[in-house]
Amino acid sequence: MLNINAGSLTTLPGGISSRRTVLQAGGAGLLGLSLPRVLAAEEQALPTGGRAKSVIFLFLFGGPSQLETFDMKPEAPETIRGPFQPIASRTPGLRICEHLPRTANVSDRFCVIRTMSHSYNDHSGGAHYIQTGHRWDIPIGAGFNATPQDWPSIGSVVEHLGQQQSGGHAATLPNYMVLPNFLGRLQEYRVQLRRPGEYGGWLGRGVDPVTTAIDKKDASDNPYWRDMTDDELTFQIQGLASGPGLTLERLRRQRSLLEAFDENRTRLGDSEVLAAYDRFQQRALDLVSSERTRTALDLQAEPAALRDRYGRHLFGQSTLMARRLVEAGVRFVTVHYDCIDGYSWDSHQHSSDVQKHLLPTLDQSLSALLGDLEDRGLLDETLVVCMGEMGRTPKANTNWGRNHWSTLFPAVLAGAGIRGGSLYGETDADAAYAVTPPTSPEDLAATIYHALGIDPEWRVNDPQGRPVPIVSDGRPLLDLFG
């Protein structure tokens, strides 16, 4: 990974004598071969007409309970209503959890969709469905990891559109980024998880997100809610692996390596990888070595008081980083609040973590983001989406936890013309089913595209070369917008 902090200055050899040497250097991230197409995005205008110039997607992976967040039912039977009490908010009719007081105080800036629903009652499939607007083609239990046949994420479609536009200049930041890790990276599991939903899928790796990486200290550590030091908050770029000393300052001294590659290219032979490199080599180096990238990823440039306001934990600092990235020009930023075994939104057993850690950190970071965007004049042009991939069962289990329930769960939307202080959809007395028509992941995707000014019926060629709409059977929720 490439550390964004500057370091010692050294010079790499100027000669390349073999194909193996070139490919090894590329694999280390020096030449951008490890992400040639990801790093080749061109910064060009997306289709106009939408209020949103950018999207910040806060993804609470694991499935927060609707009954402990935004759809509380205090009159329900004791086995259903949950252990927390509702408090007043700035939105008439919104029963919000007592452990979300800051969010309650800014509810006039967001809308709660109470009727999200789908039938893929599984974490991986739910993550794919929510982030793409398309149902995963792998049956429940048959897989956990992303595949090249997956549907492209909404962010990847935005990246693809950006690359398709003509007349722009080379970007120093991509259109799509993921923070602080790819989904599943910090989970202790029997296999390495790379959950589906955030990738380019059959559109190709060239529209995958540029992803950062933050490590945990040990198996029991949960950095998402633990205060972190600046030494830990490096936000390295995933995939640009490096040894000690590979820093931006060092990369700036390595233009001779590119020249040496060009000189030796004719005797290395032709290949798809080398062709991609030949086209995008300068773009790759520009991305990792530009002052614009370094500035955008420098959290220490933010006032200490603002960083405290977001929270010094990983979720808070990643949310602040997302604001910095959209301010710098990134169009779609996903922030994962991922599961770490034993510490997550996937609350099958009653745990103090929901009360003491998960809800307070969400409360702190979401409210800070909305206030910060408004203070900077960015809320009108930034769509904020905050949600999980499912909800929880209305009836608690014997351990006073709740199991998977994708039939009903909430989503919070703000900015880009969304009517603040509003509620969308009605649910039954137990927060089990929608009383009004349910809101599908297809509807959510169409709404996000609409906010960005992208026609949900815009077509891309699938792996068979057939033009297919980016959203099928979904409709923008126009009533959300003022």
The CB density around residue 326, as the number of other CB atoms within 10 Å, is 25
* Torsion sign (Cα): 10, 13, 14, 18: negative
The CB density around residue 428, as the number of other CB atoms within 10 Å, is 13
What domain range is 12 assigned to?
1-30+244-290
Nearest Cα residue to 425 out of 75, 115, 3, 84: 115
pLDDT at 481: 97
Query: Average pLDDT in the 182-206 region?
Result: 89
Q: Tell me how far CA of residue 199 lies from CA of 99, 105, 195, 408, in angstroms.
A: 33, 35, 9, 25
Same domain, 282 and 317: no
Helix ranges restricted to H, 311-422: 314-328, 352-353, 359-375
What CATH number is given to the structural domain containing 181?
3.40.720.10
Domains in the chain: how many in total?
2
Residues 174, 330 contacting (CB under 8 angstroms) = yes
Give the pair of three-digit tokens for residue 91.
């939105």
Same domain, 82 and 224: yes
Residue 102 belongs to some domain of the structure: yes
Q: Give 170's strand partners.
A: 42
Same domain, 191 and 166: yes
Give the position of tokens 């969709």: 113
Residue 37 belongs to some domain of the structure: no
Three-state DSSP class for residue 97:
strand
pLDDT at 171: 57
Residue 35 belongs to some domain of the structure: no
Same domain, 225 and 324: yes
Quick one: which H or E segment has residue 19?
Answer: helix 19-27
Tens-digit pLDDT profile for residues 101-118: 999 999 999 999 999 999
- Which of 257, 290, 323 delimits the end of a domain? 290
Residue 41 belongs to some domain of the structure: no
Residue 40 belongs to some domain of the structure: no
Which of 291-305, 335-349, 443-457 has the largest mean confidence? Answer: 443-457
The crossing angle, in degrees rounded to 10, of helices 272-289 and 19-27 is 40
The CB density around residue 264, as the number of other CB atoms within 10 Å, is 16
Same domain, 77 and 174: yes
Same domain, 216 and 167: yes
Task: Please give the full DSSP string across 231-255, using - where no structure is assigned.
Answer: TT---EETT----TT-BHHHHHT-H
If one compares 161 and 245, the residue with the highest pLDDT of the two is 161
Same domain, 251 and 309: no
Q: Tell me how far CA of residue 352 lies from CA of 180, 375, 427, in angstroms.
A: 24, 34, 27
Give the pair of three-digit tokens for residue 326.
């959209």
Same domain, 19 and 93: no
Long-range CB pairs of 44-47 (<8 Å, 24+ gap) are 44/162, 44/163, 44/165, 44/166, 44/167, 44/168, 44/169, 45/165, 45/168, 46/158, 46/161, 46/162, 46/165, 46/175, 46/331, 46/452, 46/453, 46/454, 47/161, 47/452, 47/453, 47/454, 47/455
Euclidean distance between the first and the last CA atom of the chain, given in angstroms as a whole number: 44
Query: For residues 406 and 63, what is the distance between their CA atoms, to the nearest angstrom?
Result: 9
Average pLDDT, the chain: 83
Tens-digit pLDDT profile for residues 313-354: 999 999 999 999 999 999 999 999 999 877 789 988 877 899
Same domain, 208 and 62: yes
Task: Please give the full DSSP string across 100-130, using - where no structure is assigned.
Answer: -HHHHHTGGGEEEEEEE--S--SHHHHHHHH
- Which of 275, 290, 305 delimits the end of a domain? 290
Query: Average pLDDT in the 60-81 region?
Result: 96
Residues 443, 129 contacting (CB under 8 angstroms) = no
Three-state DSSP class for residue 428:
coil
pLDDT at 266: 46
Residue 80 belongs to some domain of the structure: yes
Give yes or no for residue 240 having a pLDDT over 90. no
Determine which of 181-185, 267-271, 376-380 has the lowest per-residue pLDDT on average.
267-271
Query: For residues 205 and 208, what is the distance between their CA atoms, to the nearest angstrom?
Result: 5
Three-state DSSP class for residue 468:
strand
Residues 43, 173 contacting (CB under 8 angstroms) = yes
Give yes or no for residue 435 having a pLDDT over 80. yes
Nearest Cα residue to 255 out of 424, 30, 449: 30
Nearest Cα residue to 154 out of 410, 319, 333: 333
Determine which of 68-72, 197-201, 224-228, 245-249 has the lowest per-residue pLDDT on average.
245-249
Three-state DSSP class for residue 353:
helix
Residue 277 belongs to some domain of the structure: yes
Query: Average pLDDT in the 382-387 region?
Result: 98
Same domain, 346 and 460: yes
Same domain, 7 and 75: no
Quick one: which H or E segment has residue 469?
Answer: strand 467-469
Give yes or no for residue 279 having a pLDDT over 60. no
- Which of 255, 290, 325 delimits the end of a domain? 290
Query: Where do the DSSP E strands lie in 9-48?
Result: 42-43
Residue 87 belongs to some domain of the structure: yes
Same domain, 178 and 231: yes
